[in-house]
Amino acid sequence: MREIRIEPRRKFLVPVEAEGISPDVLAPLTLEEIGRIEVWEGNRRSVLSDLFALSGDDVPGEAADARILLSGDFSRVKRIGEKMTSGMIEAGGDVGMHAGNGMAGGEIEIAGRAGDWLGREMRGGKINVSGDAGDYVGAGYRGESCGMRGGEIRIEGSAGDYLGEHLCGGKITVLGDAGDFPGIANRGGVIVIGGNAHLPGAEMASGAITVFGRARVLPSYQYQETVEIDGQSLKKFLGDLVDGGKGELYVASMEA
Amino acid sequence: MIAEDVLCPFCGCLCDDIKVEVEEGKIVGVKRACRLGSSKILGHERTTAPMIRVDGELLETTYEEAYDQAAQILKEAKRPLLYGWCSTVCETAKLGILLAEEVGGVVDSTATVCHGPSIIGIEEKGMAGATLGQIKNRADLIVFWGANPAEAHPRHTVRYSSNARGMFTPDGRGGRKVIVVDVRETRTAKNADKFILIKPGTDYEVLSALRMIVQGKGEIVPETVAGVAKSDLEEAAAMMLAAKFGVVLIGLGLTHSRGRYKNVDNALSLVADLNGFTKFVVMAMRGHYNVAGFGQVCAWSTGFPMAVDLSRGAPYFNPGETAACDLLAKREADAMMVVAADPASNFPRATVGGMVEIPVIQIDPFPNPTTLLADVVIPTAVCGIEAEGTAYRMDGLSLRMKKVVDSPYPTDEEAVREILDRVRRLSDDN
Amino acid sequence: MIIEGGIVYDPRNGILGEEMEISIEDGRVVEESRDGDKIDARGMLVMPGGLDAHAHIAGAKVNTGRIMRPEDGRRGTEARTKLLRPQTGYTVPNCYAIGYRYARLGYTTAFEAATPILEARNTHEELEEIPIVDKGALTLFGNNWEVLECVRDGDLGKLAAFVAWGLRASRGYGVKVVNPGGGEAWGFGGNVKGIDDPVPNFDVTPRQIIRGLMRANEALGLPHSVHLHTNNLGKPGNYETTLETLRAVEDIAASRDRQVLHVTHMQFSAYGGTGWRDFESKAPEIADYFNRHQQFTMDMGQLIFGSATTMTADAPLEYGNARLLKAKWSNHDIELEESSGVVPLVYGRKMPINAIQWAIGLELALLTEDPWQMIMTTDHPNGGPFVNYPEVVALLMSRPKREEELKTLHELASKRSSLPSIEREMGWNDIAIVTRAGPAKILGLEEKGHLGMGADGDVSIYDIDPEKVDPSKDHEKVKAALSRAKYTIKGGEVVVRNGELVAVPQGRTYWVEASVPEDEAAKVRADLVDKFAKYYSIQISNYMVQDAYVTSPRIVRAGVI
């Protein structure tokens, strides 16, 4: 597998947009060509090699055989892995907003924390975050009726608000807590939250949300029965009835 | 001399029936305006000369120097933020957006700290609105949700809503019902036929419960919802369904409590639901007199109503990422221009911190806490009193503001144009 | 400037594909040009600049569309250049994109189809920001209280005086009537169901409103006729309402050499069926009626598959759409005057209703024998965005293209319409009429839509040789050529070269100043003073659009004195 290593040359104060950091874009290029990929630091257009040190294998190949290793602080680098269809990105630390935007395949592995809009409008592939993730994991763009449609996102830490907003498919797992409105306007996706959540499943039309911790349940949800999941006893609700929804919500304990 | 039918440059009511008495070029009297409007029209302490901060101290300078300095700051910045635009006319906003294009900046309005969530809610659901006169002539039920016009929009009730008289509402308040939903018993609530006290941050749940009852699914709703008795909600829902024309007026209590734009989203859905049974509209009680106008100009110029990032030449809109608060809270902006607004007073403390470390340009007639953080201060004429131009009322109706007296100061529009011209010259030099 | 060697189609002047020179000087077509600028148009198609007589391009509901649809805004995004402002949007483009995209299609004039008087300032603010094209706005009258009262009282003189006043107040060009009476009924959530259904609280019927406004329009001798969006628009079975409406006004005569009534986006008013299940085309019935009644004109309102943003003063229709489709819904009621709605939707090829609607627009255009009775529109962005006009032209010119398209659609498009059996293929002369000469004549714009002496120097030149290319077979070439004009010339200035914008002048805004007798005007003033004192939420002195909002006016005079 070809390895391409990218490391910031300095700390960024103004965020950098680098949608070119994707196996699909970089794999067919030599390191020198990769260095000429356009990136933006605020309103300044520059090239990858101006802002990042590049190393690794120099032989162009297929995206599927490429592994991009990000070392250093990428917390202000946005749009990593945008629209990638195959291959691998591994970030040793934090990544900025919009990692895996519109991703269709391949894998992103983030050792640190992910910024907001992780996997926005994702269609396929896998993202794993060892730390926390920000708001709008797997959500859609403003005004769209669909966010993530396929693929899998796994967050080992906690997630922010609006997790999986407008989810139309795929699966999101959060081992820790989720914030406000996880699974809002869910249209067929699956969300599993290991910890607590606030008002899950608002406007849910279909799909399933499971909260293994405590959650505040909307008054527009109807209790069905108690079920066993992974050896734990959970209350099953149907909703969101305010929008004629047929989603399933499982909650371990209810917040008064 | 008495100037008639002057527009009031204070709140989103944009009252246009003000009489202003002028003697020897000075305003000596104001009639019909509320106390908030009167105090603005009569005027208060002004910034009298342009200033530049040298060694931590603001020193008077010439307009030329101040414009040059402002242009230099914006031109050098990688992520300049051009913010404000709520208390100036649309003509200034047009130039401000063009300036943001020229410098590759982010342009945003005070909506970010007021009804920005309402706009994001509208992006989810659309909004069933009306002009204020429609409410005045037809509404027999008024719902104030998290809104307190008695304090914030003093003439709203008399001119447009609960107490106004019109074609089908000849009895004014006597022929209407008023519901207030709020987290405390405000002055507006004291005047209501039905007051529902809710716990802070529970608006969304209460709205969902109301929607369930309106839709005839009330039996599923628990007996209390976030502390509110179901019977109270049933009563409110019955009043809504019995109305011939109802309106929900949304205030900052809804947009800035937990749930934010989702609260608005749910309120818009409630109104859409109600239209299946009767006539209902909804409106955001916009604060500053032309914050709505900036949204209009920004939408037709860039496609988006606020929080537009032009750093790559094409407009990119994503509140949460590109709003003024986001840039400052994340310490992304490296320069800021504030036009006709006071973020130092209105932004959260953590956000104001983002202004301390970067050069700030202020264009405003009045000194305010933002002046204390500014590095370049450019005093201007007061729009609607000393300069004419367009403003949009809270219902989206545009009106032309008048010039009543002369001013020794340039208009906001002129000040922004001077900076724009200089930025362009700097670009040509490079 | 001299345009040399092109094949010119100028139907108004009887020029049907002749090689000839066009000379332009000081923005007008002249006998001979003194300057030396030459444009080599050999082997190319030359026509007058395109004219869109019905599009929603400016004003409150257009901006509402933008604000509620950021997901549309991000489509079609282009960065600014040294010459151009940034562009965004597909169905609801920003103002700059509107001007640039029209120019790239070879269009040089576009009219906003519906502006309420009270919000006309907003409309003009946006029109001012639309570059290049000449513009105008039609003013809404069909639900205005003053109109309803004049009609109820049978006071035609006062009605005409109010129309003149309303055009001036809104800086409007013509009389637009949308779902007459229905907008007022919507004030309390109702609607009218037909032309004889009384308007609540006003004791008038849509029939009376339409007749009154048409008679006022003709009394004033306005350049354009009444421009009507029919009652029951968008509903199955509505072709009967449409025909009933037309029959109700057959006795009214035009005061000028033009139609007496323009029925807009007819596609939405030509439906059969008792509901959506047996929904079918009644385009042949409508076209047949038009073939026998030359005093009426229409535009297509052609449907384009994909994303659209519906926006109309027909507010009850929009509520129905939103509920049916579970779509976003915006509504805006305007005190004493109108209502409106905005709903985004997607037209699908496999959706039976949409597929039939698509066929209906084409049937109407092809079955109406006289192209001067027909304007090509998509009712932008209701049927789809105007950037798709080349697609519509290709469909009108090529039966094979229509057959290819039909194969990709739900089968009901073929079963519930007569489109498969229609052989007609429009020629370039027909196209020049339905996109240029016809709309100019229908709007009453003397200097537009033709290339005779004194005409505006608005010309489009396309890189397609009408003598060599067979549009029936080579419809792809037609669509490609029309999508990017080789040259667009606006007022004698080249604004597009090789499909790219090279200049961005400011266009003019047409509006109509109609004179009326002082005693009638005084009666209107008295009424309005009363209405403002009691009902409007603003002062009368702040109502009228100020001159500051129309910086390049082109005032057309009309009236009774």
- How do residues A207-235 score in pLDDT, each as one tens digit? 999 999 999 999 999 999 999 999 999 99
Neighbouring C-beta atoms of residue C505, cutoff 10 Å: 16
Cβ of B315 within 8 Å of Cβ of C68? The answer is no
Nearest-CA distance A6 → chain B (Å): 22
Of A42, A199, A202, the CB nearest to B79: A42
Classify the C-alpha dihedral A156-A157-A158-A162 as positive or negative. Answer: negative
B278 inside 8 A of chain C by CB: yes
Task: Identify the chains in contact with B, defined as 3+ C-beta pairs within 8 A.
Answer: A, C
- ∠ CA B373-B375-B380 to the nearest 5 degrees? 95
Q: What's the whole-number average pLDDT of chain B?
A: 96
> Is the predicted pLDDT of residue A256 greater than 80, yes or no?
no
B294 inside 8 A of chain C by CB: no
With cut-offs at 50, 70 and 90, classify the pLDDT of residue B44. confident
| Average pLDDT rounded to a whole number, residues A169-182 | 98
Nearest-CA distance A194 → chain C (Å): 32
What's residue C46's pLDDT? 98
Q: Are C181 and C197 in contact (CB under 8 A)?
A: yes
**Residues 99 through 118 of chain A touching chain B, CB cutoff 8 Å:** 116-117
Task: Identify the chains in contact with C, defined as 3+ C-beta pairs within 8 A.
Answer: A, B
C71 inside 8 A of chain A by CB: yes
A143 inside 8 A of chain C by CB: yes
Contacts of A181 in chain B (CB under 8 A): 259, 262
Mutation to test the C interface, candidates B302, B312, B403, B424, most C Cβ within 10 Å: B302
Domain count across chain C? 1
Cβ of A43 within 8 Å of Cβ of B220? The answer is no
> Is the predicted pLDDT of residue C313 greater than 90, yes or no?
no
> Is the predicted pLDDT of residue C124 greater than 70, yes or no?
yes
Nearest-CA distance B333 → chain A (Å): 7
d(CA C248, CA B304): 45
What's residue A42's pLDDT? 98
Nearest CA in chain C to B128: C331
Spell out the long-range contacts of A195-201 with Cβ–Cβ below 8 A and sequence spacing 24 or more: A195/A158, A196/A255, A197/A163, A198/A255, A199/B204, A199/B205, A199/B259, A200/A249, A200/A251, A201/A237, A201/A239, A201/A240, A201/A245, A201/A247, A201/A249
C72 inside 8 A of chain A by CB: yes
d(CA C274, CA C366): 25
Classify the C-alpha dihedral B382-B384-B390-B391 as positive or negative. Answer: positive
A82 strand-pairing partners: none
Q: Percent of chain A having pLDDT more than 90?
A: 99
> Is the predicted pLDDT of residue B349 greater than 90, yes or no?
no
Contacts of C89 in chain A (CB under 8 A): none
Contacts of B167 in chain C (CB under 8 A): 534-535
Segment B149-208, tens digit of pLDDT: 999 999 999 999 999 999 999 999 999 999 999 999 999 999 999 999 999 999 999 999
| Average pLDDT rounded to a whole number, residues B97-101 | 98
C473 belongs to a structural domain:
yes
Question: What is the C-alpha R_g of chain B?
Answer: 23
d(CA C472, CA C503): 34
Q: What's the CATH number where C366 sits?
A: 3.20.20.140
C444 belongs to a structural domain:
yes
Contacts of A168 in chain C (CB under 8 A): none
Q: What's the whole-number average pLDDT of chain C?
A: 97
> Is the predicted pLDDT of residue A161 greater than 80, yes or no?
yes
Nearest CA in chain B to A77: B332
Q: Which two tokens stand for residue C323?
A: 């509920």
Q: Percent of chain A having pLDDT more than 70?
A: 100
Contacts of C74 in chain A (CB under 8 A): 141
Can you give the residue range of the structural domain that contains C438?
46-501
Percentages helix, strand, coil for chain C (3-state, rounded to 5) are 40, 20, 40
Q: What is the dihedral of CA C426, C428, C429, C431, to 10 degrees?
A: 70
For residue B429, give the DSSP letter. Answer: H
Question: What are the residue boundaries of the structural domains of chain A, listed by start?
Answer: 1-112, 126-256
Nearest-CA distance A77 → chain C (Å): 21
B103 inside 8 A of chain A by CB: yes
What's residue B429's pLDDT? 73
Contacts of C119 in chain B (CB under 8 A): 396-398
C506 belongs to a structural domain:
no
Neighbouring C-beta atoms of residue B55, cutoff 10 Å: 5
Cβ of B390 within 8 Å of Cβ of C121? The answer is yes
Q: Rounded to the nearest 10 degrees, what angle do helices C156-170 and C206-219 cross at?
A: 80
Instruction: Given the cut 0.90, state whether the ipTM is greater than it.
Output: yes
> Is the predicted pLDDT of residue A97 greater than 80, yes or no?
yes
- The pTM of the full predicted model, rounded to 2 decimals, is 0.97
Q: For A243-247, B95-99, C208-212, C318-322, which range has the lowest pLDDT when averaged over its residues? A: C318-322
C276 inside 8 A of chain B by CB: no
d(CA B371, CA C552): 40
| Average pLDDT rounded to a whole number, residues C407-427 | 98
d(CA C78, CA C84): 10
With cut-offs at 50, 70 and 90, classify the pLDDT of residue C179. very high
Nearest CA in chain B to C118: B397
d(CA C467, CA C486): 17
C25 belongs to a structural domain:
no
Contacts of C65 in chain A (CB under 8 A): none
| Average pLDDT rounded to a whole number, residues A238-244 | 96
> Is the predicted pLDDT of residue C561 greater than 80, yes or no?
no
Of B124, B208, B311, the CB nearest to A219: B208
Mutation to test the A interface, candidates B220, B221, B225, B269, most A Cβ within 10 Å: B220
Nearest CA in chain B to C191: B279
| Average pLDDT rounded to a whole number, residues C312-339 | 93
> Is the predicted pLDDT of residue B224 greater than 80, yes or no?
yes
Cβ of B16 within 8 Å of Cβ of C188? The answer is no
B125 inside 8 A of chain A by CB: no
Distance between the two ends of chain A, CA-based, in angstroms? 53
Spell out the long-range contacts of A95-103 with Cβ–Cβ below 8 A and sequence spacing 24 or more: A95/A70, A96/A15, A96/A16, A97/A15, A97/A134, A97/B321, A99/A127, A100/A125, A100/A127, A101/A19, A103/A127, A103/A151
Q: Are B71 and B95 in contact (CB under 8 A)?
A: no
| Average pLDDT rounded to a whole number, residues A130-135 | 98
Of A43, A136, A141, the CB nearest to B104: A43
C331 belongs to a structural domain:
yes
C6 belongs to a structural domain:
no
Q: Which two tokens stand for residue A209?
A: 């949300």
What's residue B430's pLDDT? 62
What's residue B413's pLDDT? 98
With cut-offs at 50, 70 and 90, classify the pLDDT of residue C35. confident
Nearest CA in chain A to B326: A116
> Is the predicted pLDDT of residue B112 greater than 90, yes or no?
no
Cα distances from C443 to residues A155, A227, B204, C267, in angstroms, run 62, 69, 51, 20
Nearest-CA distance B423 → chain A (Å): 15
Nearest-CA distance A119 → chain B (Å): 15
| Average pLDDT rounded to a whole number, residues C66-84 | 96
C310 belongs to a structural domain:
yes
A173 inside 8 A of chain B by CB: no
d(CA A26, CA A35): 10
Nearest-CA distance B117 → chain A (Å): 12
Q: Report the SS3 class of residue C496.
A: strand
Segment C474-523, tens digit of pLDDT: 999 999 999 999 999 999 999 999 999 999 999 999 999 999 999 999 99
Q: Percent of chain C having pLDDT more than 70?
A: 100
Contacts of B210 in chain A (CB under 8 A): none
Cβ of B334 within 8 Å of Cβ of A41? The answer is no
| Average pLDDT rounded to a whole number, residues C81-108 | 98
| B343 alpha-carbon distance from chain centroid | 13
Cβ of A142 within 8 Å of Cβ of B334? The answer is no
d(CA C300, CA B391): 37
Contacts of C72 in chain A (CB under 8 A): 143
**Residues 4 through 63 of chain B touching chain A, CB cutoff 8 Å:** none
